[in-house]
Amino acid sequence: MLVESNLKSRAMMRTRKGIKNKVYLIGKRLLDLIISFILLLFAMPALLFISYWVYKREGAPILHKQQQMGKHHQPFIMWSFRTLTNTSQMIRSLPPYPVPASWEEGVSDNFTIIPNQQQTITQTGQTLRKYHIDKLPQLFNVLKGEMSLVGPEAETPEVTMYYNDDQMKRLAVRPGVIGYAQLKNKYNDQHDEKIIHDLYYIKHGTFKLDLKIMMHTIKKQLPQRRRD
For range 183-202, the mean pLDDT? 79
Which distant-in-sequence residues (6+ apart) come within 8 Å of 162 by Cβ? 95, 99, 103, 106, 107
Query: In the structure, what pLDDT confidence band is assigned to residue 18 with cuts at 50, 70 and 90?
Result: low
Q: Between residues 191 and 37, which one has the greater pLDDT?
A: 37
pLDDT digit string, tens, across residues 82-135 = 998 875 444 455 666 667 777 777 877 766 666 555 568 888 889 998 888 999
Gap between the Cα atoms of 157 and 176, Å rounded: 16
Burial of 52 from C-beta contacts in 10 A (0-12 / 13-18 / 19+) = exposed
Query: In the structure, what pLDDT confidence band is assigned to residue 223 with cuts at 50, 70 and 90?
Result: low
At position 132, the amino acid (one-letter code) is H
For range 39-46, the mean pLDDT? 95
pLDDT value, residue 100: 72
pLDDT value, residue 176: 95
pLDDT value, residue 189: 57
Which distant-in-sequence residues (6+ apart) come within 8 Å of 55 by Cβ? 62
**Confidence (pTM):** 0.80
CA atoms within 13 A on the CB side of 177: 25
Strand ranges, E, within 18-128: 63-69, 75-81
